Amino acid sequence: MEIDGDPSLQQAVRFGLFHVLQAGARTERRAVPGKGLTGPGYDGHAFWDTEGYVLPLLMYTCPQAAADALRWRHSILPQSRDRARTLGLAGAAFPWRTITGEECSAYWPAGTAALHLNAVIARAVDRYRRVTGDTTLEADCGLEILVETARLWVSHGHHDADGVWHIDGVTGPDEPETWRASAHAVHVPFDERLGVHPQSEGFTRYAAWDFPATRPEKTLMDQATYFQLYRRQVVKQADLVLAMHWCAEEFTPEQKARNVDYYERITVRDSSLSACAQAVMCAEVGHLELAHDYAWEAGDHVGGGGTAGGPDGAGAATPAAANRIRTRPKRWVNSLPPPGRLCAIGFTEGVALRRRAVPRPRDQGRRAVPPRWTPRNHTSMSTDEVRYATCASDRLTAMKSIRMIARLVSTDQPFS
């Protein structure tokens, strides 16, 4: 991947590529740890970072390594089925943090609530097929992952009195037909008054967070209790913004612009999972200089700037977020202008071996956002310290996962 216009960012991207390939290219059906091979952070455990941030890059550069990582996920299905039964759910609930397949989260509510992991894994299985054209993974083990995660979502959700499906309960056992009904009835909140999507139901009605009274040199979790944080409009890391990146076709351009502006005001980026997604979306809606700043922040995480125990997989996978790569059947789409002062971004696709350069357009001028959170070296929080609430990315990735299954199977197909 080549960046014209910022040699230092180019170096950071190459360093990120090195970390991803070092940690992921020879996993050989073992987990890719959250910190890769860079340090002791997270104790070698694997998280959703693998499928969400690392594998998209490996699919284009080293597809066999991506397939191996997904086959490792399949190998821990027995433990994941046991975990689902423990939670009173059907299908398989993959562990939030693990090495051997058992749930290792020390913070039980977060480990239990982090079900979006399962949708991200299913999304990675589908993306691998679309990117590489290789159907053997899906035939060998991918379909089983898709079926078991869809079973989980359907058992976790419920239809309300109006037939709208919510991810907070239990539904019926007629799997294929239930998948179709659930996928088409997913409730995605929208605030008509503000013209934005709440990241969880009622979020935009919460009280405002007192940012002037907050110490920017410390993470929010180090200076406020969960009780204070969960009832205020403050966001630890990109959530709705990440949903727009991953499920771009579910939002209009106007919705994307309004959502980015709204959440830019209240996102503190206390996780390295945040800046790379914000860079992508800021570039898409026209905040090119801000996108450049976020690309730099993501690169700083790659270099370990402020991250205890080494850079994590999200920062190391900065190259995957530095350019919008969207895959559709039989076509490749790139809709992201180079951010800020960059002149062009070019890269070689490992699968198709095609070199693509993206010229820098004129800044669209939508920079009317208030000053963001005071710049600082962001110490990455424990991944367990996540908000115990159903988030926007949960709903949308679950909806896409269930829709995908509904297309793959017929109503009369038997399941084991």
For the chain, the residue count is 416
Q: Calculate the dihedral angle through the C-alpha atoms of 200, 167, 34, 3, rounding to the nearest 10 degrees.
A: -60
What's the rounded Cα separation, in Å, for the pair 90 and 123? 19
What's the rounded Cα separation, in Å, for the pair 273 and 117? 14
What residues contact 196, with CB distance under 8 A and at least 6 apart?
Answer: 190, 204, 255, 258, 259, 262, 263
What's the rounded Cα separation, in Å, for the pair 161 and 140? 40
In three-state secondary structure terms, 244 is: helix
Cα four-point dihedral sign 72, 77, 83, 89: positive
In three-state secondary structure terms, 180 is: helix
Give the active site residue among 103, 148, 175, 264: 175
Q: Is 175 designated active site? A: yes
End-to-end CA distance of the chain: give it in Å, rounded.
Answer: 44
Q: Beta strand pairing status for 207-208 and 232-233? A: parallel
> 3-state SS string over 100-153?
CCCCCCCCHHHHHHCCHHHHHHHHHHHHHHHHHCCCHHHHHHHHHHHHHHHHHH
As a whole number of angstroms, the longest Cα–Cα distance in the chain is: 59
Give catalytic residue positions: 175
